[in-house]
Amino acid sequence: MKRLALLLTFLPIFALAQTSTTTQTQSAGGTGGGGSGTVGTCGGPGNAYYSGAGTTVACDTSVTDNGSGTLAAIAFQGAVAATTLSASSTVSGTGFTNYFASPPAIGVTAPAAGTFTIVTTSSATNSGYWAGVGNTANYSVVANSAGWMGPPSASFTAWVAQLPATGPGGSTQYLGCSGSGVATCAWNTISASSAFPITVSGAVTSGGIPYFNSTTQESSSAILNTNILVKGGGAGGAPTNSSITDNGTTIASSEPLALGTATCTTSGTAGGICPAEGTAPTNVSGAAPLYPDATAHEYLAATNGSSSFGMMVRRQPGAIHATAQTAAISTATLCAASAGACNVAGQYHVHWNFTQGGTACTVVTAGSVTFLLTWTDTNAVAHSAIAMPMFNSVSNTATSGSFTFTTNNATAYASGDFNISTNGAVIQYATGYTACTTGTGTYQLDASVTRLQ
């Protein structure tokens, strides 16, 4: 049996800390080139053995000397502290397992909780790099943290970013990377404008414009036609074509035009302009503005840069066109006391004329028609059924109180004009009729009113 020599130092992973050491040599049992035996009890002075072949055994462990080396025993009376573990060393046994499960402190602070996994640390061609494996989905970034991850695909692992050596030069820069496979990144200055043309993805309409159809989404409008002005679509709605066309020569619309605060909403097939009544604009040299006055309730105009506006002469509503009359006409309205008619106190001009129709009378010793006018003046004095003077075919130089029938329709006519001032009350008319001596006198009456002031 080989003699067992005591080894004072044997493992690079242990530092011996003890107050006294008891060392003993034990036989592993057997004689000659081999043998077997039992290492001392754990309570004894020899509680670990190391062989020249690099095998370490714990106390209370049966060992066999195979003749290839020398077993030596060393006893530990104090604590054993771990330092380093070489790649070729192996530690096993109940005692060491328990020890490394709860090692004593070695004078350093334990690291904070967390994990860090190295997936690749070196490359044959690019030393010192690390790579993230392909991910099946994008990670969620924890608040107040930054990270770097592999591409979001389990099969796509070839992408690498080469970051610039220096940091950004200012607060208005961003890191931009371009290329595929190996991306070259650089710090770029944020510009207030975009470089056109810009390539976009998704469905867009040629001839349309981008718009926001919600607070988080941008879409493309339908085509906006040539020469058609655009109108907004409101919240969530797309801009669309308006009814206004501008071909560079003419501006046209099929809709009425409302100006100011006017509330006109319906117009006929001819269209129309619907300005709101208000105050006069300020005129300038060479201009001729026209506007509906809120006090006069009529259109006023100024020409040649004048600041004085005059009323446009307008036939008031209610004009009379009565044909084939063969009797007197009872009192009826010529101009109503309603808005837009004759309800405003002022000066009005009354026009009327007669013509003869039907079969002319054969004898006209008698036969005529009078025009009767009723109004209330600005002093509130009523004037009722006043016969108006007129010129007729009997005399073109002297007025007459009536239209006279003749035996020839071509030679029978009469007309008259009369100015009145009213307090805004209704203006009425009527006719008086005297029959022909022989035959039936037939007449036509046309009458209207215009406002002068």
CATH number of 320-451: 2.60.120
Predicted local distance difference test score (pLDDT) of residue 387: 97
Contact 335, 449 (CB under 8 A): yes
pLDDT of residue 1: 38
Going along 52-206, which residue ranges are E strands? 56-58, 62-65, 71-73, 80-82, 160-162, 173-178, 182-189
Instruction: Quote the pLDDT of residue 166.
Output: 73
What's the chain's length in residues? 453
What six digits make up the tokens of 236? 């969530």
Tokens of 128: 């010192």
Q: Provide the pLDDT for residue 202.
A: 82
Gap between the Cα atoms of 333 and 437, Å rounded: 31
Q: What is the dihedral of CA 189, 194, 195, 201, to 10 degrees?
A: 110
Question: pLDDT in tens for each of the 453 residues of the chain?
Answer: 333 333 333 333 333 333 333 333 343 333 344 455 555 555 444 444 444 444 555 554 555 555 544 444 433 333 344 434 444 444 444 444 444 445 555 554 555 555 544 444 455 555 555 555 555 554 554 555 445 555 555 555 455 566 676 777 766 777 777 665 556 677 877 776 777 788 887 888 999 999 999 999 999 999 999 999 999 999 999 999 999 999 999 998 887 777 777 777 677 777 778 888 999 999 999 999 999 999 999 999 999 999 999 999 889 999 999 999 999 999 999 999 999 999 999 999 999 999 999 999 999 999 999 999 999 999 999 999 999 999 999 888 889 999 999 999 999 999 999 999 999 999 999 999 999 999 999 999 999 999 999
Instruction: Identify the pLDDT of residue 240.
Output: 95
- Evaluate if pTM is beyond 0.75: no
Determine if residue 297 is left, alpha or beta; phi over 0 gives left, psi from -120 to 50 gives alpha, anything else beta: left
- Where exactly are the structural domains of the chain? 14-101, 275-312, 320-451
Distance of CA 172 to the CA centre of its chain: 26
